[in-house]
Amino acid sequence: MLRRWLALPFVLLLVSAAPAQSQPDLPIFDAHIHYSQPDWAVYPPEEILKIFDRAGVRRALVSSTPDDGTLRLYEKAPARIVPELRPYRTRGDMASWHGDPAVLAYVEERLKRGIYKGIGEFHLFGGQTNTPVIRRIAELAVEKNLVLHAHSDEAAVEELFALNPKVKILWAHAGMSSGPEAIAKLLDRYPNLWAELAIRSDMASGGKLDPAWRALFLRHPDRIMVGTDTWVTSRWDALPGYLDEMRVWLRQLPREVAEKIAYRNAERLFGP
């Protein structure tokens, strides 16, 4: 009896530790996927969905150059693909789209399909926002309840909200180079701003979650998402590995916070 009593604390320790070790991998809502023309011949839609299966991607926010790639995936798996409209007919539009009336006409025509949840991912930087095209894009987003998926610096995010405070913005790459303190300040200031972490590896060097990033995630657990950004074809084969790396630092957060960042926040923003 004494031996059993002495062994009890050790048994309780094992039982309490077991759930953390046995928790299944978090499902992922990947908030930054492209399926653009160079990918089509290499990975037909069926192969893309198999990659998602291997990576544990439950749903994905998809845009493409041109938009036909998004439509191909959406037609194959409408419950799994969340389409957003990229305003690039070709990659040549990337640098000039914000001032091109023809791009605006393209966007307005494609939106008539009624399937899109956002406009983007687009590149737009401080000083480029005050154009008739961007003003109308912001109006369309508010009118149709669409999210603007902006690959932008901090200045452009602020300028977009100045154009129309009602817009909803998903900040691609969390600004790419913005630090956690700067991200937190913008999230504090703008309740309609969310940030996704595609291609950001600085929050967990060597797999260990940085304290400043951890503080950001705990401060704004409802406003952060993950993404991978398949901006070139070679990133498709590597996608499962990228998400495995993300799960390493997600496991270092409280489970409820990790679930929000992994998939719940995106599901809440983009709906069923």
pLDDT value at residue 10: 42
pLDDT at 175 over 50: yes
Backbone dihedral angles phi then psi of residue 63, each to the nearest 5 degrees: -135, 160
* Domain assignment of residue 9, yes or no: no
* Domain assignment of residue 20, yes or no: no
Q: What is the mean pLDDT of residues 161-189?
A: 98
pLDDT at 102 over 70: yes
* Domain assignment of residue 44, yes or no: yes
**CATH code of the domain covering residue 132:** 3.20.20.140
Quote the tokens at residue 234.
Answer: 């070679």
Q: How confident is the model at residue 173 (pLDDT cuts 50, 70, 90)?
A: very high
- In order of 23, 131, 141, 147, 210, the CA distances from 197 in angstroms are 23, 28, 22, 16, 14
The answer to whether the predicted template modeling score (pTM) of the entire model surpasses 0.85 is yes
For residue 111, what are the contacts with CB-CB under 8 A and spacing of at least 6? 85, 140, 144, 146
Q: How confident is the model at residue 59 (pLDDT cuts 50, 70, 90)?
A: very high
* Domain assignment of residue 7, yes or no: no
Please state the domain count of the chain: 1
* Domain assignment of residue 18, yes or no: no
pLDDT tens-digit map of 215-232: 999 999 999 999 999 999
* Domain assignment of residue 103, yes or no: yes
* Domain assignment of residue 170, yes or no: yes
Helix boundaries (H) for 41-100 = 45-55, 68-76
* Domain assignment of residue 58, yes or no: yes
Q: How confident is the model at residue 4 (pLDDT cuts 50, 70, 90)?
A: very low
Residue-range definition of the domain harbouring residue 146: 26-270
Burial class (CB in 10 A: 0-12, 13-18, 19+), 53: exposed
